[in-house]
């Protein structure tokens, strides 16, 4: 797949704000500061289409991006961010849950995990929730550029074993490593 064009469509807090669209959607979930916005920017090959911050919890709404007029890429708020109130954490959790429950055109959920750390309790909850929705979670390990090249594949293998899945996709938003594989995967998802 070649990304020819992409555009920010809208941000939404709840279902009434979701765009009216029949386009298939691919959502990205992950804990705060895992690199979802950086992933979106590199995936779309656009520098600042998604706002990136060193501050955890920057993405507070669900952000929708139209890609090639073929599908929507959906950036979900990060979970597991300790420096916000419990009520805000619950609000973000409900926002994500509502989106995953309501979107009939949701085709896949990519679960982003930092390759340097073990999956968190929240990652496991999200993985299981995606499975309960009848979707196969697609695990992408981010920040592979932060590891020595010889350590990347062993860590990817650990994620495969941990989640009991055959494929995990390593990715670097710095170098673009893994981007082509994920573009090919998206193309396959959209064919189904």
Complete DSSP assignment for 66-111 = EETTTEEEEEPPPB--TTS-HHHHHHHHHHHHHHHHH-TTEEEEEE
Burial 68-89, CB ≥16 within 10 A → b, else e:
eeebbbbbbbbbbbeeeeeeeb
Reported confidence tier of residue 137, pLDDT bands at 50, 70, 90: very high
State the CATH class of domain 23-191: alpha beta
Tell me the sheet residues that pair with 31: 79
Which of 34-48, 50-64, 106-120, 158-172 is the least confident region? 50-64
Domain boundaries of the chain, sorted by first residue = 23-191
The pLDDT of residue 105 is above 90? yes
Q: Are 120 and 128 in contact (CB under 8 A)?
A: no
96-105: average pLDDT: 88
CB-side neighbour CA atoms (13 Å) of 135: 23
Percentage of the chain lying above the pLDDT 90 cut: 62
Give CA–CA dist 140/108, Å, rounded. 13
- In this prediction, residue 118 carries a pLDDT of 93
- In this prediction, residue 89 carries a pLDDT of 56
- The set of residues, in sequence order, having a beta carbon less than 8 Å from that of 117 and lying 6+ positions away, is none
- In this prediction, residue 37 carries a pLDDT of 83
Give CA–CA dist 163/139, Å, rounded. 9
Reported confidence tier of residue 87, pLDDT bands at 50, 70, 90: low
Which of 39-48, 52-61, 101-110 is the least confident region? 52-61
Give CA–CA dist 114/39, Å, rounded. 12
Residue 128, classed as helix, strand or coil, is helix
The pLDDT of residue 44 is above 50? yes
């Amino acid at each position: 797949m070649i990304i020819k064009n992409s555009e920010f469509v809208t941000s939404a807090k709840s279902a009434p704000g979701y765009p009216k669209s029949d386009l298939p959607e691919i959502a990205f979930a992950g804990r705060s500061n895992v690199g979802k916005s950086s992933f979106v920017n590199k995936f779309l090959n656009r520098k600042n289409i998604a706002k990136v911050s060193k501050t955890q919890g920057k993405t507070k709404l669900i952000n929708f991006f139209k890609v090639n007029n073929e599908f929507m890429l959906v950036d979900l708020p990060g979970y597991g961010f300790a420096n916000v109130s419990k009520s805000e954490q619950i609000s973000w959790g409900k926002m994500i849950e509502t989106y995953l429950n309501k979107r009939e055109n949701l085709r896949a959920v990519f679960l982003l995990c930092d390759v340097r750390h073990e999956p968190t309790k929240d990652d496991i909850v999200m993985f299981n929730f995606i499975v309960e929705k009848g979707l196969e979670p697609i695990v992408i390990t981010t920040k592979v550029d932060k590891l020595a090249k010889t350590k990347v594949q062993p860590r990817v293998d650990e994620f495969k074993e941990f989640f009991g899945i055959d494929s995990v996709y390593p990715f670097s938003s710095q170098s673009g490593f893994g981007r082509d594989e994920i573009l090919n995967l998206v193309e396959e998802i959209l064919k189904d």
